[in-house]
Structure 1
């Protein structure tokens, strides 16, 4: 049975975000701003229904979905694109595949103790972020 990810998570660290943003073709000015941000995550997890909020002073992104149900995701606030998205469980990892203009795009979340780990992929770029559960 997959873990329940409900909680509020504070940003701890990240690696290779700039490579990921370049793979998404984010312009230099916006990349510089994003690299300064330390977003928090808030996750509401009830059965197969989830809401994942990425919260920062610059911009918030809210993703609401049913696990296992494909939907059109509007990523215009992130990079100006839309894609077909499906989120599933692979063991204890929540895995998202985003099909669209950018190949190999998606992410995966999992817990290690009180830390939420996130891997973001686009093309051949891999960004890793870690968040600590604070409530």
Structure 2
């Protein structure tokens, strides 16, 4: 079993976030605002359910899931997408694949050097955003 990613994590860097938002069609004003926010990520596990909270002074986004079970997700307050999401462990990474309005998007979380890392992924084009 991979290391737990549960805990409270503060953002310390933000690489290519503007490019990711641009690829998702987020408008210029929202991109500019989002680039200046410092996010806090809170990951909790309640039995077999994970709860992930992305918190900022502007907006909060909270979702929950069970590993290896597809669920409907609406990324309200983020990029406003409706998608089907599936989260699973792949090695030491918690990986989410999203299918919907934007094909093959997702993310991966893992812990390295006592820091929670997050990359946004494009499975359709096989790149990290």
Aligned residue in 2 for 1:69: 69
Tell me the TM-score normalized by structure 2. 0.91
Aligned residue in 1 for 2:35: 35
User: Which stretches of structure 1, 4 residues or more, deviate above 4 A after TM superposition?
Assistant: 122-125
Aligned equivalents of 1:26 and 1:50: distance in 2?
27
Aligned residues: 127
Contiguous gaps of at least 5 residues in structure 2: none
Aligned equivalents of 1:62 and 1:100: distance in 2?
19
Bigger CA drift: 72-81 or 60-69?
72-81
Cα RMSD (Å): 1.5
Residue 108 of structure 1: CA displacement?
A: 0.2
Hey, which of these two has a bigger chunk of strand by percent?
A: 1
Tell me the TM-score normalized by structure 1. 0.87
Aligned equivalents of 1:76 and 1:117: distance in 2?
22
2:91 matches 1:103: no
Contiguous gaps of at least 5 residues in structure 1: 128-135
- Which of 1 and 2 has higher RCO (CA within 8 Å, sep 6+)? 1
